[in-house]
Chain A
């Protein structure tokens, strides 16, 4: 491929190889311990009672009968979680979301919880709790919620971002706008203008492991929490604040994590487990059921949007506009704003605007989901790009190449880009053999692009060298997809030793300094950066020890291939000292040898992907089948290509499920009708073909190895890539996800009837 050597600028010995992961054996033998796999002596079983109503006032909760049931050791309600948030509205929302306070805001909102000696008794106790609800009118659809007269979800909310500031409550929590140039002038210059509206239904991250934790609070205020999470430090800080514990006395250990995809970057039932434990004075294990995961933990937004593009016949886009309406569930957030920032990020546009409405509805609090908010906006934008291409008779890839953002482009969300990969992914797509493969009847090909920011953040790493020269690497970012292997490789690379000599662990919050949550594709990026610096710190110590051993100045010692070498005329003949030799003598040269690093690893670098998809649509049933799928994405530098490919494939599969099947279905009563994997259908093995990948490496100038985040971007293009392929296969333009067989069939019938 044309881009391999052009962008690869460093020679590596370990990095880039496909080594076996250190946690692998435990995971194929059943030994790895996930959230629900830990037990403590005397532990109780926790369970949560949830509101069956979409919107209700809670007049009273009577827990007396449940408390009297034999075997029940604690019952908690909001009264056991007093408000300690001191005006921090974000914290207050987290508190109210984990336990309703006088009102239920969505079907599945927690209202009370019990801890009992076994699951059976806990279940019975829930039935004995009497909640007196006054049912209020509700709204679950984003467009309905914006209408005047819609039931108000949160009376405290006044729309932010409009002038003059409103005085009445509204379900629109925020209006935000990004862009530059003059839209009217741009549209006036256009030869064609295409305008289209789209809708996407709500989806869930669908991690296979439900939320689970084991909480233990002692009467002296010392507490432990074992939990499946992407952010043990976030858990510690939030739970400590909500329960009034001291941060240092709450020790959080992240279990192995059975998938998160953003859904485990938030606090859900953990404060409730701690409150139960505090009240019962015993450890409490709280594991959510799948139904609770769907009803009570964060899905992504459902959206509705209008996209408008003006272009000249030569393919130049003269103006582009997006109006996005994203529902954030029952609590205000910025998901719509994120959609507006990402909507046009792939393109170099003179006149561009994206306006976002963040809207409240009676649905669960929306959580991050892999490149949050970007897939929906991209569905609208990339579908409309294809419509423009058809209108002016240009190849869709060429249209995108012509307008692609490049180094120096002013991004639609403000800044000017450095070196970026959208152009190269498009060129690679154009030249990919997939583009030229023949297609049969009822088959079509589509492509689309996607963008995501990626983040860095606070990171801390400890590297300790044992007396035999093996190395312990302790990191604080959770390993969601093989990061321990990549980080061990980086340490081995820097130290010049074999990968097998490094053992990487994820430390608990009491053993290492603060680390931000593993989100925004930051795990390998940030801990990788900190690992490089920690290893270099250790090398500095190793050189000093060698200098002491030889009794020569340290500036005459260099570190190469895992050994200290003396150089210069006087010392050049000294035999090199290996890491093992230096480690064995550490006690006599100054004590243990270690390296540390604490940084804010910012500058993660934006990332782009282009996907190609072939689909077959059965005109009789509307059922579609993906025939071939190719992911092309920029990785900066692939530390472990298997896991980079794995991220690309996993993200694409989630996007495919989103596009074709997944959706939250609410009844008129505001209740979620499909809270299970049977009716909420994620992609299964027989739904998919092999997912081909092509990794491009355009180094990130802000990282010593050029790493960019890779985990998220590839969930962005599939919705539109599939819609575009369907339009070529069946002649129908789908504007509403999921593009499930009934919707596709309806569109085909309408097209033929017309």
Chain B
């Protein structure tokens, strides 16, 4: 099978690669472009660990072909931060401890980015349904939902002093029992 030559834009950079016609976008990103931030949890479109944004649409990179990317724009987790400045979603995921093992995190970040692009102020329910295609086995999703809400708020009203972790805030109940209310 002849290789296909593809010119595309990945995270703002013009990129050229050749790939086999059957090769998935995920394999191209990970194996040819060295962008291993997108993960393969299933390869069948069921887990969302490979979520990337193509021409503004959230897709499973394992279900698209590398050959289809000619002339398109691909965004992956590696392009989320602006240089050393993290995207508010990244900051809020860290502050809210929305990751444990972190293997699902790149997918959740991209899916959340796509969500906030079309709905700047989602409710808890809207967040839960928008992220239902992304599996996380570690967190029980509670802290992920909180992080996405907080990032939405941050994007709407950026805090003046940056988004550094507050350790004296209401959640800093260091060493005390924490009874949290239903969110």
Question: In the complex the two chains form, what is the Cα distance from A683 to B22 in whole Å?
Answer: 32
Taken together as a complex, chains A and B put the C-alpha atoms of A31 and B141 apart, in Å, by 22
Q: Are B140 and A691 in contact (CB under 8 A)?
A: yes
Q: Does B102 contact A (CB under 8 A)?
A: yes
Q: A688 and B140: CB pair below 8 A? A: yes
Q: How far is the CA of A676 from the CA of B62 in the complex (A)?
A: 15
A686–B180 alpha-carbon span in the complex (Å): 20
Among candidates A30, A206, A482, A678, residue contacting B37 with C-beta atoms closer than 8 Å: A30
**A4 interface contact, C-beta 8 A:** yes
Question: What's the minimum C-beta distance from B62 to chain A, rounded to whole angstroms?
Answer: 10
A682 to B37, CA, bound (A): 23
Chain B contact-residue range equals 35 or more
Contact status A481-B101, CB under 8 Å: yes
**Is A83's beta carbon under 8 Å from chain B?**
no
The reply to whether the CB of A685 lies closer than 8 angstroms to some CB of chain B is: yes
Q: Interface centre among B96, B175, B178, B179, by most A CB within 10 Å?
A: B175
Contact A682/B94 with A209-B41, A290-B41, A645-B178 known, Cβ cut-off 8 Å: no
Residue from A8, A28, A210, A643 in contact with B90 in the complex, judged by beta carbons closer than 8 Å:
A28
Rounded to whole angstroms, the CA-CA distance of A209 and B106 in the bound complex is 13
A20:B94 contact, CB within 8 angstroms: yes
Name the residue of chain A whose CB is nearest to the CB of B79: A30
Partner of A682, one of B101, B129, B135, B180: B135
Complexed CA–CA distance, A168 and B179 (Å) = 57
- A210 close to B177 (CB less than 8 A): no
Q: Check if A60 is an interface residue, CB within 8 A of chain B.
A: no
Question: Which residues from A are CB-within-8-Å of B134?
Answer: 684-685
CA distance A273 to B132 in the complex (A): 35
Residues of B within 8 A of A642 (CB): 96-97, 143
Chain A residues within an 8 Å CB radius of B140 = 646, 649-653, 683, 688, 691
Chain A residues with Cβ below 8 Å from B122 are none
Most-contacted residue by chain A among B36, B81, B125, B183 (CB, 10 A): B36
A695 on interface, CB distance cutoff 8 Å:
yes
- Residues of chain A within 8 A (CB-CB) of B127 are 685
B69 CB–A CB distance under 8 Å: no
On whether the beta carbons of B174 and A18 are closer than 8 Å, the reply is yes
A641 touching B174 by the CB < 8 A rule?
yes
Is A684's CB under 8 angstroms from B132's CB? yes
Q: With the chains together, A404 CA to B183 CA distance in Å?
A: 32
Asked if A33 lies at the interface with its beta carbon under 8 angstroms from chain B, I say: yes
Contact of A686 among B95, B132, B177 (CB under 8 A): B132
Please determine whether A1 and B132 come into contact, CB atoms closer than 8 angstroms.
Answer: no
Q: Are A23 and B42 in contact (CB under 8 A)?
A: no
Inter-subunit contact A686/B128 (CB<8 Å) = yes
Question: Nearest Cβ in chain A — how far from B122, in angstroms?
Answer: 12
Contact status of A685 and B179, CB under 8 A, knowing A30-B37, A30-B78, A642-B97:
no
B104 x A693 contact (CB < 8 A): no
The CA of A206 and the CA of B53, in the complex, are separated in Å by: 26
In the complex, what residue of chain B is closest to A480 when comparing beta carbons? B101
Alpha-carbon distance between A3 and B176 when the two chains are bound, in angstroms:
9
Convert A16-40 into 0s and 1s, putting 1 for each residue whose CB lies closer than 8 angstroms to a CB of B.
Answer: 1111110111011111111011000
Nearest Cβ distance between residue A227 and chain B, in whole angstroms?
15
Q: A residues within 8 A CB of B90? A: 28-29
Could you tell me the distance between the alpha carbons of A18 and B37 in the complex, rounded to whole angstroms?
26
Given the complex of chains A and B, what is the CA–CA distance between A123 and B134 in angstroms? 28
Closest to A640 in B: B97
Chain A, residue nearest B92 (CB): A28
Nearest opposing residue in chain A for B129, CB measure: A686
| Interface residues in A, total, Cβ within 8 A | 80
Asked if B179 and A27 make an inter-chain contact with CB atoms under 8 angstroms apart, the answer reads no
Q: Interface SS of chain A: helix, strand, loop or mixed?
A: loop
Report how far A551 CA is from B142 CA in the complex, Å: 57
Contact B167 A17 (CB under 8 A): yes
A30 touches B177 (CB 8 A): no
Is B159 an interface residue when CB atoms closer than 8 A count as contact? Answer: no
Interchain CA distance A693-B143 in the complex, whole Å: 12
Contact A690 B49, CB 8 Å, known A32-B102, A684-B132: no
Name A197-228 residues within 8 Å CB distance of B. Answer: 205-210
User: Are A695 and B178 neighbours in the complex by a CB distance under 8 Å?
Assistant: yes
Check if A628 is an interface residue, CB within 8 A of chain B.
yes
Q: If A18-B167, A642-B97, A688-B140 touch, does A693 touch B39 (CB 8 Å cutoff)? A: no
Report A104 CB to chain B, min CB distance, Å.
25
| CB-defined contacts of B119 to chain A, threshold 8 Å | none
Contacts A17-B174, A23-B102; is A650 near B40 (CB within 8 Å)? no
Enumerate chain A residues within 8 angstroms of B135, measured Cβ to Cβ: 208, 677, 682, 684
Chain A residue with Cβ nearest B103: A258
A418 to B177, CA, bound (A): 22
Question: How near does chain B come to A705, taking the closest CB pair, in angstroms?
Answer: 10
Complexed CA–CA distance, A628 and B37 (Å): 34
Contacts A8-B175, A29-B77, A29-B81 given; indicate if A208 touches B97 (C-beta within 8 A).
no
The CB with the most chain A CB atoms within 10 A, among B131, B135, B167, is that of B135
Interface residues of B in 117-175 (CB under 8 A from A): 124-125, 127-129, 131-145, 165, 167, 171-175
Q: How far is the CA of A650 from the CA of B140 in the complex (A)?
A: 4
Residues of B within 8 A of A290 (CB): 41-44, 46-47
Which residues of B are found within 8 Å of A676, using beta-carbon distances?
A: 42, 44, 46
Bound-state CA distance A482–B138 (Å) is 11
Known contacts A31-B37, A652-B140: A208-B176 contact under CB 8 Å: no
Min Cβ gap B67→A in Å is 15
On whether the beta carbons of B94 and A28 are closer than 8 Å, the reply is: yes
Partner of A120, one of B20, B124, B178: B20
Q: Which of A3, A19, A259, A637 contacts B175 (CB 8 A)?
A: A637
The residues of A with any CB-CB pair to B shorter than 8 Å are 1, 3-4, 8, 12, 15-21, 23-25, 27-34, 36-37, 119-120, 205-210, 256-261, 287, 289-290, 432, 480-482, 628, 637-638, 641-643, 645-647, 649-654, 676-678, 682-697
14 intermolecular pairs with C-beta atoms under 8 Å apart? A16-B175, A17-B167, A18-B174, A28-B99, A29-B81, A30-B37, A31-B37, A290-B46, A646-B100, A650-B139, A684-B133, A690-B142, A693-B180, A697-B177
